[in-house]
């Protein structure tokens, strides 16, 4: 896990979870919470985050394609995102708050679509060797809750239209990520009230702020 230093003082924070888990409700809030405490924040998302990445996002969410193509496009967008947004922001001392990162690829393509972890590991080692978020909040809800929320949302994209078994595998994929890096993850019960979830996030953000402050002292 990348720790703040004089040459890389920013922290990289990510939100993860299956579609319908509720994470997106809190991404902008987290940015504002940090800004109110004097932190310069770069808010971004994956796939996307750059002009090229947003074009790739449109393709990924709407166009049918082979699984390998889908995975490679995810990492193509991620590479551009890292080089032009995430890494420069961290180097400038900003905190980056990102809606999804490589954990989503392990969960969605690796587990949900059954590609497996090995090839995704190879791509991750090529695109960002040794680099991962400082903190990942995994929003978790029972699958029936996620499905109910999706049914009440906007027109679903290509992933959101998948069947329940896909989301079951995706959720299991996220749990494998937690087992692989337990110190990095904080699992958030997405069935709690918005107020309670924000209390949990605020306490964790405060701890990260204290740790970052000590690291610079």
Q: What is the pLDDT of residue 153?
A: 61
3-state SS of the chain: helix, strand, coil percent to 5? Answer: 55, 10, 35
pLDDT tens per residue, range 15-57 = 999 988 889 889 999 999 999 999 999 999 999 999 999 999 9
Cβ within 8 Å of residue 27, ≥6 positions away: 15, 43, 45, 97, 99
- Scanning the structure block, which residue is given the tokens 């709407």? 62
Residue 9 predicted with pLDDT over 80: no
The larger pLDDT score, comparing residue 134 to residue 217, is at 134
Q: How confident is the model at residue 169 (pLDDT cuts 50, 70, 90)?
A: very high
- Classified as helix, coil or strand, 16 is strand
Residue in the block written with tokens 């090529």: 126
Percent of the chain beyond pLDDT 90? 78
Kind of pairing between the strands at 185-189 and 135-140? parallel
Q: How many domains does the chain have?
A: 1
Summarised one tens digit per residue, pLDDT across range 48-87 is: 999 999 999 999 999 999 999 999 999 999 999 999 999 9
User: Minimal CA–CA distance to 107: which of 77, 140, 85, 76?
Assistant: 140
Q: What does pTM read for this prediction?
A: 0.90
Over residues 187-208, the mean pLDDT reads 96
Query: pLDDT at position 7, please?
Result: 42
Q: Residues 6 or more apart from 113 whose CB is under 8 A from it? A: 67, 70, 166
Distance between CA atoms of 76 and 70, rounded to whole angstroms? Answer: 10
In a domain, 158, yes or no: yes
Distance of CA 42 to the CA centre of its chain: 14
DSSP conformation class of 38: T
| 198 pLDDT above the threshold of 50 | yes
- Rg of the Cα atoms in the chain: 17
In a domain, 3, yes or no: no
Q: Is residue 45 part of a domain?
A: yes
pLDDT at 2 (0 to 100): 41
Confidence of residue 214 (pLDDT cuts 50, 70, 90): confident
CA-closest candidate to residue 18, choices 112, 158, 131: 112
pLDDT mean over 191-211: 96
CATH number, position 37: 3.40.50.300
**Predicted pLDDT at 174:** 97
Question: Do the Cβ atoms of 128 and 14 come closer than 8 Å?
Answer: no
**Residue-wise pLDDT tens digits, 92-146:** 999 999 999 999 999 999 999 999 999 999 999 999 999 999 999 999 998 888 7
pLDDT of 4 above 50: no
Residue 125: CB atoms within 10 A of its CB come to: 10
Beta-carbon contacts of 87 under 8 Å, excluding residues fewer than 6 positions away, are none
100 domain residue, yes or no: yes
d(CA 168, CA 85): 32
Contact in structure between 33 and 155 (CB atoms under 8 Å)? no
Determine the structural domain holding residue 116 and report its residue range: 12-209
Residue 216 covered by a domain: no
- In-domain check, residue 95: yes
């Amino acid at each position: 896990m990348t720790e703040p230093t004089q040459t890389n003082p920013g922290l990289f924070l990510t939100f993860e979870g299956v579609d319908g888990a509720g994470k997106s409700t809190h991404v902008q809030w987290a940015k504002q919470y940090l800004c109110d405490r004097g932190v310069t924040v770069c808010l971004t998302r994956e796939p996307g985050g750059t002009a090229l990445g947003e074009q790739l996002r449109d393709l990924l969410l709407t166009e049918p394609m082979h699984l390998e193509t889908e995975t490679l496009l995810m990492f193509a967008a991620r590479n551009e995102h890292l080089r032009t947004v995430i890494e420069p922001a961290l180097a400038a001392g900003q905190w980056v708050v990102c809606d999804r990162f490589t954990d989503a690829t392990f969960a969605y393509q690796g587990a949900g679509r059954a590609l497996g972890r090995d090839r995704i590991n190879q791509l991750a080692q090529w695109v960002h060797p040794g680099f991962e978020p400082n903190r990942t909040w995994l929003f978790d809800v029972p699958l029936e809750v996620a499905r109910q929320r999706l049914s009440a949302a906007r027109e679903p994209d290509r992933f959101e239209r998948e069947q329940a078994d896909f989301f079951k595998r995706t959720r299991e994929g996220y749990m494998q990520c937690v087992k692989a890096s337990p110190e990095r993850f904080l699992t958030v019960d997405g069935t709690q009230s918005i107020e309670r979830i924000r209390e949990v996030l605020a306490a964790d953000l405060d701890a990260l702020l204290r740790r970052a402050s000590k690291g610079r002292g």
